[in-house]
């Protein structure tokens, strides 16, 4: 039934700031910018009087990221949404081919990581063919939790 993940939607407070971060800092390409409103979207999202600005950002492969700024109806950001153990959808993980280079580039753009790059212990998680996973967590400018991850076969 399911084929793939098509997109990930992030509702934002400051659309220009978030487009800059996901575009310039993370390197996603803006593909489309639209304003949505009317009965079809109200029925779809279960809200009344909906008007929202939406920017679609694409990667070379994988699902696109949709940044959505509701003009109406207004809503407040829930507390602790960017905390790792808050129930619900919690983070977006972006796969990279060189995590050390990606982290260095993002640090130059003043992105703060929770820690240095971490190796997932093979005693806890084993991947096929001995592939090792390395990862690092960080927040976007509005506090959404993001992950960079790298999968590499052992050298030898």
Tell me the percentage of the chain whose pLDDT exceeds 70.
99
**Which of the four pLDDT bands, split at 50, 70 and 90, describes residue 71?**
very high
Higher-confidence position of 76 and 53: 53
For the cut 70, the answer to whether the pLDDT of residue 156 exceeds it is no
For the cut 80, the answer to whether the pLDDT of residue 23 exceeds it is yes
Question: Look-up: residue for tokens 């098509």?
Answer: 6
CA dihedral of residues 26, 121, 89, 11 (deg, nearest 10): -10
Is the dihedral angle over the CA atoms 151, 111, 85, 61 positive or is it negative?
negative
Residue-by-residue DSSP string for the chain: ------EEEEE-S-HHHHHHIIIIIT-PEEEEEEEEESHHHHHHHT-SS-EEEEEEEE-SSS-EEEEEEEEES--PPPTTTTSTTSSS--EEEEE-S-HHHHHHHHHHTTPPBSSS-EEPPTTT---GGG-EEEEEEEE-TT--EEEEEEEEPPP-
CB atoms within 10 A of CB 69: 19
CA dihedral of residues 114, 115, 117, 118 (deg, nearest 10): -100
Q: How confident is the model at residue 130, as a pLDDT? A: 85
**Which of the four pLDDT bands, split at 50, 70 and 90, describes residue 153?**
confident
Task: Tell me the per-residue pLDDT of 118-138, one tens digit each, with 9 for 90 and over.
Answer: 999 888 888 888 899 999 999
Q: Calculate ∠ Cα 77-104-12, nearest 5°.
A: 15
Distance CA 72, CA 152 (A): 45
For the cut 90, the answer to whether the pLDDT of residue 30 exceeds it is yes
């Amino acid at each position: 039934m399911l084929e793939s993940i098509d997109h990930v939607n992030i509702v934002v407070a400051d659309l220009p700031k978030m487009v800059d971060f996901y575009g310039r800092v993370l390197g996603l390409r803006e593909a489309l910018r639209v304003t949505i409103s009317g009965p079809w979207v109200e029925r779809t999202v279960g809200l009344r009087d909906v008007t929202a600005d939406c920017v679609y950002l694409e990667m070379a492969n994988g699902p696109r990221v949709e940044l959505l700024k509701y003009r109406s109806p207004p809503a407040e950001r829930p507390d602790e949404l960017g905390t790792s153990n808050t129930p619900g959808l919690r983070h977006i993980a972006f796969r990279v081919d060189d995590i050390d280079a990606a982290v260095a580039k993002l640090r130059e753009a003043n992105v703060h990581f929770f820690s240095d790059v971490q190796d997932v212990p093979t005693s806890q998680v084993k991947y096929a063919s001995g592939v090792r996973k390395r990862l690092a967590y960080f927040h976007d400018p509005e506090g959404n939790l993001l992950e960079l991850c790298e999968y590499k076969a052992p050298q030898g």
